[in-house]
Structures are given as structure tokens and as C-alpha cells.
């Protein structure tokens, strides 16, 4: 395993960014961690994952790493207990109106895929020193941002994917603008927001972002048309 397998790590290396405290909300499996390279480098890491099976995998895989603090909870808008639903790699709050599984896969919540976990607001976890934050919790990303104490230089969060758009996208974008963040780049599911005084963007970044936005719009439109036709013919 090299230290340059994750795209976010490679891109930040090129920008000369040095992290001192990184955090990931919604890890799933250890190998899928968006901050895997930072973990292996010994950088201070805060991980949050509510799924019991994933928690055990993370603890086993990183058993020799003493730079990790793992919080086996869900991050949400209140402290208490919540129900989660799991669809393959997608674990989301059952009460949500939109998540990738609900929108893209047209998944229907059922008891067999649901379990209850402890939930905390992010201010109970965040000590104010995080400088790189990755969030992928299937539609609940806003609840992390809403209660965050830190103002990381880099924030990566899931905003889109196929037909899906984050249900709290407007709140997220308004918060980012209010707190001085700009969009650095997007991939097929995440948007990377940065503080421009910490991460310097250039014309190549701007051009790539414009092209990516166009690609995502075309892809979403095509899938929406395809789904509409499919539903029309099924009714016929």
C-alpha cells in the first residue's frame, strides 16, 4: 500500500498542503477511507462510523495505528438514538427523504435492513482543530457542517451522484459561502471545498471544474430522461 492511492491525497500533495488533524465521517470499510494515506502516515485522525460490522473491520485493520480516535456513533442533528438503513455500501438515516440509495436505486426502507445506533451532534466530537474533513453519510452531511466547531482548510462531502442531489445542498452552499469557502473540484459524487488562503486554485482548476459541471449535468439529464421513459412504458 502506497501513500498516494487516494485522489484527494494526491491532489493535496501537489498543492503543498500539510495536514495536522484529519477527520472522516462515514468510513464504511477501512480500505475505502478517503483519508487512508493520512492514517498510514501517522497523522492525527478522527474517524466516525456507526455500523457495527464496519467498526470491527476498522479496529482490526488499524490495530497497529495509535494516531486514530474512532467514534462508533452516527452524526446527526440531535443527541440520542436513530434508526439507520443499509443498502450495500450505503448506510443512511431511515427518516431521510433523499439518499443515493433512495433516489438512484429506488430502494424502499424495510425493517430487515434497519438497525438503531447512538447519534451525536458533531460538536460533541469536533475539538476545533480539524484541517481536513471528509464526509460521506448519504444525505446527512449538512448535520455535520451545521454543528461543526472547526473551520478546516479542506472539506470533502457527497453532494451528487447520477440522479441524486444532496437534499440539503442549498444550506451547504450557503454555509460554505458565508464561511469563505470556494469549490476546488468535483468528482462523480463529491465536492471539494477549500479555504482559498490555504489552497491556491488556478485557471486549470477552474477549467476542469467547468467541464466537470457540464459532464455531471449531461449525465444527470440523460439518466432522468431514461428513467422517465422507463416509467412511461411500464405504465403503458
Return the percent helix, strand and coil in the chain, to nearest 5. Answer: 35, 25, 40
- The string of DSSP codes covering 165-225 is E-TTHHHHHHHHHHTT-EEEEE-SSEEEEE-TTTS---HHHHHHHHHHHHHHHHHHHHHHH
| pLDDT tens, position by position, 100-159 | 999 988 899 988 889 999 999 999 999 999 999 999 999 999 999 999 999 999 999 999
Tell me the C-alpha distance between 49 and 119, whole Å. 11
Q: Which CATH superfamily is domain 7-77+123-201 in?
A: Vaccinia Virus protein VP39 (3.40.50.150)
| The pLDDT of residue 3 is above 80 | no
| pLDDT tens, position by position, 166-202 | 999 999 999 999 999 999 999 999 999 999 999 999 9
What pTM was computed for the model?
Answer: 0.94
Beta-ladder partners of 46:
23, 69
Percent of the chain with pLDDT over 90: 87
Which pLDDT band holds residue 2 (cuts at 50, 70, 90)? Answer: very low
- Domain map of the chain by residue range? 7-77+123-201, 202-236
Longest dimension (CA), the chain: 60
Average pLDDT, the chain: 94
Amino acid at each position: 500500500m502506497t501513500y498516494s492511492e487516494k485522489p484527494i491525497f494526491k491532489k493535496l500533495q501537489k498543492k503543498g498542503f500539510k495536514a495536522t488533524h484529519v477527520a472522516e465521517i462515514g468510513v464504511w470499510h477501512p480500505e475505502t477511507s478517503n483519508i487512508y494515506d493520512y492514517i498510514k502516515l501517522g497523522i492525527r485522525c478522527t474517524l466516525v462510523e456507526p455500523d457495527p460490522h464496519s467498526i470491527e473491520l476498522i479496529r482490526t485493520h488499524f490495530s497497529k495505528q495509535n494516531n486514530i480516535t474512532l467514534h462508533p456513533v452516527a452524526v446527526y442533528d440531535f443527541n440520542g438514538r436513530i434508526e439507520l438503513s443499509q443498502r450495500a455500501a450505503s448506510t443512511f438515516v431511515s427518516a431521510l427523504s433523499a439518499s443515493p440509495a433512495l433516489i438512484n436505486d429506488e430502494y424502499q426502507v424495510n425493517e430487515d435492513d434497519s438497525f438503531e445506533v447512538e447519534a451525536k451532534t458533531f460538536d460533541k466530537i469536533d475539538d476545533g482543530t480539524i484541517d481536513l474533513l471528509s464526509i460521506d453519510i448519504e444525505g446527512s452531511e449538512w448535520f455535520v457542517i451545521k454543528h461543526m466547531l472547526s473551520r478546516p482548510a479542506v472539506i470533502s462531502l457527497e453532494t451528487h451522484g447520477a440522479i441524486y442531489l444532496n437534499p440539503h445542498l442549498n444550506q451547504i452552499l450557503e454555509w460554505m459561502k458565508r464561511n469563505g469557502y470556494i469549490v476546488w473540484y468535483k468528482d462523480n459524487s463529491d465536492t471539494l471545498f477549500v479555504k482559498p488562503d490555504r489552497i491556491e486554485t488556478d485557471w486549470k482548476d477552474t477549467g476542469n471544474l467547468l467541464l466537470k459541471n457540464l459532464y455531471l449535468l449531461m449525465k444527470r439529464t440523460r439518466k432522468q430522461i431514461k428513467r422517465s421513459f422507463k416509467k412511461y412504458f411500464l405504465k403503458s
